[in-house]
Amino acid sequence: MSALSQRIRRTQAGLAVIDIQERLLPAIHQKERVVHNAVRLVRGAAILGLPTLVTEQYPKGLGPTVPEVAAALAPTIAPIEKLTFSACGAPGFTEALAAKGIADVLLCGIEAHVCVCQTCLELLEQDLRPVVVADAISSRAPDDCRVALERMRAAGAIVVSTEMVLFELLERAGTDAFRQILPLVK
């Protein structure tokens, strides 16, 4: 069975929110969709008990994580500052993945063709499984996002939607987690 055909399991999954920052967001295509779905993912991850990591690319220049996303995060989640495009180059990022037992890394954020794509490719090099949440990523230009999704999929990433991955992680209806996730997908 290939890694692409294996289900995404809660026990080895975590969320990485990549660079959804104040000064970068205004230029992003469909920015409202990205923020809306990132917030749904952050809230869903909290309900499901998934660890969440957040990165900020050069926050001195690009500002902090946007307020909507920051407000959804637990107060104990501190952004990891980075200068590398790949989050894997940020001090402590890959160590945090290992310490939290994350093998399936759900990726959301901006820009799809730069930081998200380079993070995805480096995760693959580290034998981790990137799960790119297609409706929670974007770039300034729609074509850049489209090409990035094509490249990440061709490289071996799993591409999903926000609702798809939340239901896959839930596995079943009728649970407390299901009742808490339901308002996020309606």
Q: What is the pLDDT of residue 74?
A: 87
Place of tokens 């409706």: 135
Q: What is the pLDDT of residue 20?
A: 98
Q: CATH fold of 10-185, please?
A: Rossmann fold (3.40.50)
The structure's pTM equals: 0.96
Domain ranges in the chain are: 10-185
pLDDT of the chain along its 186 residues, tens only? 556 568 999 999 999 999 999 999 999 999 999 999 999 999 999 999 999 999 999 999 999 999 999 999 988 899 999 999 999 999 999 999 999 999 999 999 999 999 999 999 999 999 999 999 999 999 999 999 999 999 999 999 999 999 999 999 999 999 999 999 999 988
Q: CB neighbours of 24 closer than 8 A, spacing ≥ 6?
A: 57, 62, 63, 110, 111
Going through 65-141 in order, the beta strands assigned E by DSSP cover: 80-82, 104-110, 129-138
Q: Which residues are catalytic?
A: 19, 82, 115
